[in-house]
Amino acid sequence: MAVALESISVTGTSVEISGVSRVFRVDGREVNALRDVSLTVRPGEFVSLLGPSGCGKSTMLRIIAGLDRPDAGECVVDGAIVRAPSLSRGVVFQDHRLLPWLTVRENVLLALHKAPIGQDGREARVLELLDLVGLSAFAGAKPHQLSGGMSQRAAIARALAPRPRLLLLDEPLGALDSLTRSRLQGELLRLWEHEKVTVIMVTHDVEEAVYLSNRVFVMEPRPGRVRGIFDVSIPYPRRRVDADFVALRQSILDILEREATAAELTC
């Protein structure tokens, strides 16, 4: 598989985040989940937001999705300020959030209920996606009959169903065993290539970020902000044992390690 950003006829959207801050009030005190975060994602890019727990990754993703609003700054997707959720932005969380009383097919179909296509078009899109994520044989299964990996595949199919131009992933593989996880990482790349979406993925797994992304935004907590940006120019498909892969992973780990030490010293 050859996935190069340059070779993709881009239909994914751009994302511009400028000066975004978000403060939560918890038990009478302020938590700076994000402070003055600015970043730009190019159309068709696969980027990761990487950092330790609590550095504001999910908050950032929720703001981009339109599920939360910043206290300051703005998030512009494809030229328009995000104010509410939209079908043009698909979201996948760590837990699959499939409706337990519906089959896999019905769960994916439900995501198309507002799509401007007829019933035949909807059914065809569902079949295409289930095939793409390897779940054709489980179309009639209920979520409790699926393994963790299969559930996440179904959740990804559901998010992609309305042909979003931006796919937002919040640790979508975080709860999976390592074997399933690395298999799904390969599948995510295949889907990215096929659907030509822009992908923003939240992860705390350095190897996952380097394996998948064109760029990695390393975040730090208290207050949540971007500490560094790494270009991953290693061609796809990447091999986790190659020297340039290992070296980049180590550089990012070093930053995270320094961050953790600094945080301990200031606690």
Ligand X SMILES: Nc1ncnc2c1ncn2[C@@H]1O[C@H](COP(=O)(O)OP(=O)(O)O)[C@@H](O)[C@H]1O
Residue from 14, 48, 58, 103 that binds Mg ion (CB under 5 A)?
58
As to burial, measured by CB atoms within 10 angstroms (0-12 exposed, 13-18 middle, 19+ buried), residue 188 is buried
Kindly tell me which residue out of 14, 59, 152, 214 binds ligand X, with binding defined by CB under 6 A. Answer: 59
Give the shortest CB-37-to-ligand X separation in angstroms.
Answer: 11
| Nearest distance in Å: CB 249, ligand X | 20
**Cβ distance to ligand X smaller for residue 51 or 143:** 51
Nearest to 82 by CA among 15, 1, 154: 15
Q: Is 250 in the site for ligand X (CB under 6 A)?
A: no
Nearest to 108 by CA among 118, 100, 98: 98
Select from ligand X, Mg ion, none the partner in contact with residue 59, using the beta carbon and a kind-dependent cut-off of 5 to 8 Å.
Answer: ligand X
Instruction: Find which of ligand X, Mg ion, none residue 55 binds, CB within 5 to 8 Å per kind.
Output: ligand X
CB of 47 to ligand X, least distance (A): 15
Q: Are 155 and 97 in contact (CB under 8 A)?
A: yes
Residue 44: contacted member of Mg ion, ligand X, none (CB under 5 to 8 Å, by partner type): none
**In the set 33, 63, 176, 188, which binds ligand X (CB under 6 A)?**
33
Site for ligand X in 162-221 (CB under 6 A): none
Q: How far is Cα 79 from Cα 71, in angstroms, rounded to an integer?
A: 20
Distance of CA 40 to the CA centre of its chain: 15
Q: Closest-CB residue for Mg ion?
A: 58
Q: Does residue number 213 form part of the binding site for Mg ion (CB under 5 A)? A: no
Q: Which is nearer to Mg ion, 54 or 134 (CB)?
A: 54
Region near ligand X per CB under 6 A, out of 9-17, 23-31, 151-159, 176-184:
23-31
**Counting contacts by CB under 6 A, is residue 55 touching ligand X?**
yes
Give me the phi and psi of 26, to 5 degrees please: -120, 120
Residue pair 87/162 in contact (Cβ under 8 Å)? The answer is: yes
- Residue ranges binding ligand X (CB under 6 A): 24, 26, 31, 33, 51, 53-59, 224
